Every structure is written in C-alpha cells, then in structure tokens.
Chains A and B, each alone.
Chain A
C-alpha cells in the first residue's frame, strides 16, 4: 500500500501560482489576477484539482479548479482577486492546494490613494447582464481593447451602473462606444433621494466618443441606460466611461 501511495503522489500534477505576491486596492474593479498553473508531469493523462482558500476580506469567484491534463500539459487558469471598498488595509493570504503541494500567496490590500480619480474610487460597478470576458468593470479599465458587452441581443434597455461609497459632485459623463455597431441612444442618470434622475440624453449618436455635460450634482451612483445601437442594433457595447 505504501508503495502504491508513493507512486500515486509522484505522478500527481504539481500546482504553481503566478505571481507569487499580489498588490491590490479596494473596490470591485481594482483587483488583480492570479494564474493557477496545473501541470501533468506524468506519462498518462489525469484529471487534476486545485482548491483555493481565502479569508472573507478577499473575494475570489471560485474555490475549485478541476481539469483534464494530457501528459506534459500545463493548464493556466486566471483567478480574479478583489477586496471590497472598506476592507482594512493589510496582508491577506490566498492558499492554493493541488494534490501534493500548497502555495501561499500574500495579497497586500490598500485603499485607493488620496486624490484617486472617481473611477478608482468606485465601490461597485454592475450591469444588467455581461458576457464572460466583457464584464462591467471593463468600461472603466482605461483600455480601448476591452468593453462591457451585454448578453441580451436586440433587447433594450440595458443598464451599466457605477456606485461610490460616499457622494461625489459630478457634471460630465464621457462615453466611448465601438465604431462598428456602437451605441446610438442612451440616457445618463444619477441617483437622487427620490430615485434615478436623467441628467443627459443622447440620441442618434454615431460617434465613438460622446461627452454629456450637465449641471453639476452630488450623487453616490451614476448609470448609463442604453436604448439602441447602430448597425444590427443588437447589443450594448461600452468601451469606456469617464466621469468628471
């Protein structure tokens, strides 16, 4: 039995995590990715598991990775790590365990620095729906090669929403959509005591970048309610939102 056990342990795939440490700031869109690497070093295909444990202060969308691995194959699985706004700064630990090995990844959590932009201060960014790989956060990541993309083809309206933990005074919302099949009609709304208030309406847009200026208001949430798109008028495509 001991020999069998030893043989089994020698052939189980090792697990590795990259990077070895992670630094993130609080806020739903300010996290970072860990890549969990599962390798099959044996001559036979295997099904391998890795478990991920984290304290409640950290959020991971999954606690298990199971995959088939052909001989010599390494599977790289990205896992997003975030900490909610208000999480006490400190070092927390994600523990990744594969059969036969455990990896400890220190995660340093800090609050956004003083003077951080309104987008970095967002506590939550949500949408009526989102395609895998095109989440709501992609609309404030400063990248023009990612976007929020909803899942409801030809059904309107859709909603993209940003929340702050405390109110901010804003007077401008800049929307960047795609050149092909971009947004045509949308409303910009801000949260008020009585509910959502429309502060700007865009109709018949064909530009990729549109700035809506309005009388400055103090609010703790902004949302873009999308109403129609160009081309086949199928989905909401929001590349970037900037709030000033």
Chain B
C-alpha cells in the first residue's frame, strides 16, 4: 500500500485525483493465455498478480496500464497489432484484449508489458476464413484439473503437441479445501496459507483459487502454446449444482445465486473470454459457436446454468421415470433451440458438441442398470432431440469431460437404431490421482454397455484430428500424476467415418 491507506486510495480514485500507480514486482506470475479464436482475431488474457497467493494478487486498488503486442514472429520483429489496456481492481486486475484485424488461419505471438516487466510470450492461432476448406482441424479435449490431486505434467506434454486449439470442458478449479502442501502434491515448499482451506464462495476466494491454479508452470505452458476455448462444469461453482439449486437442499436459491455470481465473475476474469461474455450478477451466457472454415463448427455448451434439477434426488438411480420427462432439460429451452437451429443449418462437414457430461447411456452395477442422474442419462428428452437431429446430420461428434475416465462411445437415438454420432469422453488432467488402466466397475460397464469401445481410468487428454471425410482420436494417458515427471503414451486410437459414423480401432 506504500503508505497510502486503502480508504484514502479509494477516495482519491473516486475524486479523480489518483496518484501514479506505485512500482510493483513482476506482475506476470499467472502467465498468459489466448482464446476464442475467430478468423480475424483472438482474445488475449493475463492478470496482474505480483504476489499471487495473496488477496488481490498483492496489488493496491489502483489501475495499471498494460501494453500488449501481437507479432507474426516469435522474436517480435514484425509487430502487427499493439495497444494499451487498463487493468482495474474491479476486475481483479485481469486483462482481456480483443485483438482484431488479424489474418485467418495464421500463427501469432503475443506478450504484455507493465511497469517495466515483460510477460512470457504466448503463441496463438486464428481460425480459418469462413469460406476456407481446411484439410484438417487438430485439437485436444481436456478437463478436470483438481490442483490437490496431482501435478499437471499432462499439460506439459500437451504443450508439445501440434494443435490448432484446445477445448477445455470444465472443472478448471475445484471449490474444496487445499492443504498447505497442495494436497496429494505433498509439496512442502508450497506453504499455502490456510485461506485455501476455506471452501470458495466469495469473489475474493474464487479469485485466489484461480491464482493458485494459474501459478502452475505446466498449465501456463499449455495456455501459452495454443488458443483455448473453454466451458465450465460444476466445480467452478459447487459440486453438482443445477441452475439455482445448490448441492445442499438447506441452501436457499437466493443465497446460492450470490455464490454463483461470485464464481461466474471470477471465471470471466480469469479466462480468455470476450467482454460480451461478462456475467450480469448470477447470469453469464457461455454457450457459443466457433467456425473453422467449412470443415467444422464447434458448439460450446453450458449444461450447468440452465438445467432442471437432477431427477430422483441425483446420483445413480435405476427405474427413475422422471428422467424421461420431456419438460426436464439439461440445456434449457433457449440454448437447446439455439443448438438445434444452428446445427440444422450448419454447412460444415463436422459439428462438434463441446460440453461437459457424458451423453452416451452408461449403465452402472451390471444387471442393476443404474444410471447417473447428473449426466445426459438423467435428461433423456434433450438427448433424444439432439441424436434425432444427428441422424440427419453426418459428422456429429460429441466431446465430454466431468467423469475422470476415458470412454469412447457410439451414439444411437435408440438401442436398436444405427449409430448416428460418436462421443469422446476425455479423462481428467489430475482429478482422481494416478488412476489405473481399468477398474472392476469399468470392466462391468464395458460388458453391460456394448456401445462403449473404451473405458480407462488413467489421467491425460484426448488428441483429435478432423479430416474431410474421417476423424481420428488418440487417448493420451499419463503414467502417474502424484509425483512430478509423469510420462505420456497413447492408450488407444480410434477412427470414425463422417458419413457412416462408428468408432473403429485405428
């Protein structure tokens, strides 16, 4: 605070007599990121936090000008766009630069400067022109990175892949307590303050949680390597929430929505999202579409904010008729109609549904046939409408996260119908710890769910390539995550034909 009380600074700021912002240590401790690529632009992100594990990142409540540059080369000799952004305390000193005027389907490099400090550089890529006919789109899907469950070596490996974009499918942070040694990381050098043992519910705690995650160098490397397109799942707010309903029935919707507003605000501040995505209180429009020439349209969905409460009390249920109730929805009517309308009119060869929870039916307990009410199995009517449309739309691919397992699934509108789409469920980056190739439960699921082509319980991500007529998916799995230095290998690869979908081992 350099001797100026916070109240005095606020008063000066309100009176328009703010002194020059004081000198600060390196504010780029959280790395850089880019996201939501368009043919002519990309969103650049960073957040100033010289002391990232302190409230407000260790910054006083004053504004900081941040210079940014976009160049065609990694040495920044051909700068094509630059400018200054003002980072404000109201938005946690986050920086969201909506760069436009770039060329389509090109690699660019970017960096920031503030108070004499230069950020690490980032690399990004614009989307192909709308009229382009790309030969391929390479992307990875990833999700679920509980900090206390393990290290992020999977991100380090992902950063070396050859990708156009990363699709992150939710559970970027977790709301629960993290011990001073970072949970199962058991990193005694961390010495996290006990603030991180508080469950996140207020804006300051959500902001600090994002800051902790973003200090990880492997996560920073993955953000700096590619543009990301993100959506959230439940843990960005609270485990298994549904619209305004908390997991706890003792919490009133009015109180839960205050928490949701805090969580959504922190989410926007800490992700490479454009200004129109900013929340208004507890509401934030996150579903959107990206076009990659005539090759692929990606529909990024939000299955948390607009869903009906889970049927039959949530969890695994058999014989729950309410799951078929057509009045119940996972997407909400507005988003569902938007998706169905845009999909129906899509001229792209592939339509990718990037979303959170497993769409394929998945029976638990063998003959018991229990279904998970938190997934699409609990919202059968919405699923049926999408798969009925997919039957008329060649090239539908669903990518999912949430569950910390790898699954590869053929999707049918009915058990006796032909395959109309394929689903790739990506495992977690770290959530769940080291994992194993299989478990008794997964073995049982493979036996009782014949449309599942793979079930695996290791950590990692899925690398995908869409070609003009076929797609390929490589399930990349980690040797371990609770110790540093995990190695990665391809556990299984599948291909699927666009016109005659169905996963076949590659």
Contact = CB atoms under 8 A, between A and B. Distances in A.
Interface string A40-67: 0000010101010000000001111111
Contacts of A64: 55-56, 204
Interface stretch (A127-135, A166-174, A184-192, A213-221): A127-135
Nearest to B177: A132
Nearest to A12: B10
A97 interface: yes
Given A64-B55, A132-B176, A75 B204 contact: no
B193 interface: yes
Interface in A96-155: 97, 99, 128-133, 135, 151-152, 155
A151 B177 contact: yes
B176 A151 contact: yes
B443 interface: no
Contacts of A129: 148, 177, 179, 183-184
A65 B204 CA distance: 6
B192 to A, nearest CB: 11
A70 B6 contact: no
Contacts of A128: 179
B202 A77 contact: yes
Interface in A166-225: none
Given A73-B258, A133-B199, A68 B281 contact: yes
B204 A62 contact: yes
Given A45-B281, A47-B265, A131-B176, A70 B258 contact: yes
Given A66-B203, A133-B199, A135-B197, A1 B261 contact: no
A194 to B, nearest CB: 22
Contacts of B254: 70, 73
A67 B258 contact: yes
Contacts of A97: 6-7
Nearest to A154: B433
Given A97-B7, A151-B176, A67 B281 contact: no
Interface in B255-273: 257-258, 261-262, 265
Nearest to B55: A64
A83 B158 CA distance: 46
Contacts of B197: 61, 130, 132, 135
Majority-rule SS of B interface residues: helix
Contacts of A73: 254, 258
A212 B10 CA distance: 59
Contacts of A131: 176-177
A68 B203 contact: yes
Given A5-B15, A135-B197, A47 B176 contact: no
A99 B10 contact: yes
Looking at A5, A8, A66, A131, the one whose CB has the most chain B CB atoms below 10 A away is: A66
Contacts of B10: 99
B14 A68 contact: no
A237 to B, nearest CB: 15
B198 A61 contact: yes
A61 to B, nearest CB: 5
A151 B184 CA distance: 9
Interface residues of A, number: 33
A148 B78 CA distance: 58
B67 interface: no
Contacts of A155: 184, 433
B203 A130 contact: no
Contacts of B55: 62-64
A47 B258 contact: no
A63 B194 CA distance: 12
Given A47-B265, A61-B195, A155-B433, A8 B281 contact: no
A69 interface: yes
Interface in A66-92: 66-70, 73, 75, 77
B430 to A, nearest CB: 13
Nearest to B257: A70
A51 B6 contact: yes
A47 B202 contact: no
A191 to B, nearest CB: 19
Interface in B108-154: 148
B14 A152 contact: no
B25 interface: no
A155 B262 CA distance: 33
Contacts of A68: 203, 258, 261-262, 265, 281-282
Contacts of B262: 66-68
Interface in B1-47: 6-7, 10-11, 14-16
18 contacts: A5-B15, A8-B14, A61-B194, A62-B205, A64-B55, A66-B202, A66-B207, A66-B262, A67-B262, A68-B203, A68-B258, A68-B281, A68-B282, A69-B258, A73-B254, A99-B10, A130-B179, A155-B433
